[in-house]
Amino acid sequence: MEAATTGEIALPSVVDLFAGFFIVGVYGFGGVLPWARRMIVEQRKWLTPVEFTDMLGLCSFLPGGNIMNVTIALGARFRGIPGAAACFLGLMTAPVAIVILLGIVYDRYAYVPSVRQAFVALSAAAAAFVLATAWKIAWPLRGKPLAIGVAACTFVAIAVLRLPLMAAMPVLTISSTLLLSRFRK
Amino acid sequence: MSTLSQLAAVYAQLSLMAFGGANALIPEMQRQVVDVHHWMNAQAFAALYALAQAAPGPNMMIVSVIGLRVGGISGALVTTGAVAAPSSVLTFFVSGVWDRFKNASWRKALQAGLQPVTIGLISASAALLIESTAVDWRTAFVIVVTAALFIFTKLHPLLILGAAAIAGAIGLVG
Secondary structure letter of residue A10 according to DSSP? P
Give B105→chain A minimum CA distance, Å. 10
Query: What is the rounded average pLDDT of the residues A155-168?
Result: 93
- Confidence band, pLDDT 50/70/90 cuts, at residue B103: confident
% of chain B exceeding 70 in pLDDT: 99
Domain boundaries, chain B: 3-114
Residue from B105, B117, B129, B145 to probe the interface with A (highest A Cβ count within 10 Å): B117
pLDDT of A30 reads 61
Nearest to A64 among B76, B87, B168 (CB): B87
The pLDDT assigned to B120 comes to: 94
State the sign of the Cα–Cα–Cα–Cα dihedral A102, B124, A133, B156: negative
- pLDDT bracket for residue A6 (50, 70, 90): very low
Find which of A39, A99, A107, A108 to mutate to test the B interface (most B CBs within 10 Å of its CB): A99
The yes-or-no verdict on residue A7 having pLDDT over 60 is: no
Cβ distance A62 to B160 less than 8 Å, yes or no, reads no
List CB contacts (< 8 A) between A102 and chain B: 51, 54-55, 65
Question: Is residue A184 very low, low, confident or very high in pLDDT (cuts 50, 70, 90)?
Answer: low
The whole-number average pLDDT for the span B26-36 is 95
A72 vs B77: CB contact, 8 Å cut-off?
no
Query: Taking every pair of C-alpha atoms in chain B, what is the biggest distance, in angstroms?
Result: 58
Q: Per residue in A27-56, pLDDT tens?
A: 876 678 888 998 999 999 999 988 898 888
The CA distance from A82 to A114, in Å, is 46
Q: Of A5-19, A166-180, B159-173, which range is least confident?
A: A5-19
Angle ∠(A173,A175,A181) on CA atoms, nearest 5: 95
B104 close contact with A: CB closer than 8 A = no
pLDDT (average), residues B101-128: 89
Work out the average pLDDT over B76-86. Answer: 97
- Which pLDDT score is estimated for B174? 62
- What residues does each domain of chain A span? 2-109, 143-184
**Judging by beta carbons within 10 Å of its beta carbon (0-12, 13-18, 19+), is residue A51 exposed, middle or buried?**
middle
Indicate whether A2 pLDDT > 50: no
Q: Please say if the pLDDT value at position A4 is more than 80.
A: no
Of A81, A120, A141, the CB nearest to B168: A120
Rounded CA-CA distance A160/A112 in Å is 35
**Mean pLDDT score of chain A, rounded to an integer?**
89
For B100-120, what is the mean pLDDT? 86
Nearest-CA distance B148 → chain A (Å): 8
pLDDT of residue A9: 61
Indicate the angle between helix axes B157-169 and B137-152, nearest 10 degrees.
160
Q: What is the pLDDT of residue B21?
A: 80
Q: Mean of the pLDDT values across residues B87-104? A: 88
Nearest CB to A117; choose among B26, B80, B174: B174
CB A94 within 8 A of CB B55: no
Dihedral Cα A61, A67, A72, A74, nearest 10 deg: 90
Which candidate from B27, B122, B161 shows the least CB-CB separation from A133? B122
CA dihedral A162, A135, A60, A152 (to 10 degrees): 40
The reported pTM is 0.85
d(CA B6, CA A166): 16
| Alpha-carbon gap, residue A12 to A139, rounded angstroms | 40
Average pLDDT for chain B: 91
3-state per-residue secondary structure call for A138-151:
HHHHCCCHHHHHHH
Listed residue (A34, A10, A27) closest to A91, CA to CA: A27
ipTM: 0.88
Q: What is the pLDDT of residues A130-146, one digit of tens each?
A: 999 899 889 888 889 99
- Tell me, what's the pLDDT at B54? 79
Interface with A, mutate which of B119, B143, B144, B160 (most A CBs under 10 A): B119
Chain segment A111-131, per-residue pLDDT in tens: 999 998 998 999 999 999 999
> How much is the pLDDT for B33?
96
Chain B residues with CB under 8 Å of A159 CB are 27, 123-124, 127-128
Give the chain B residue nearest A126 (alpha carbons). B50
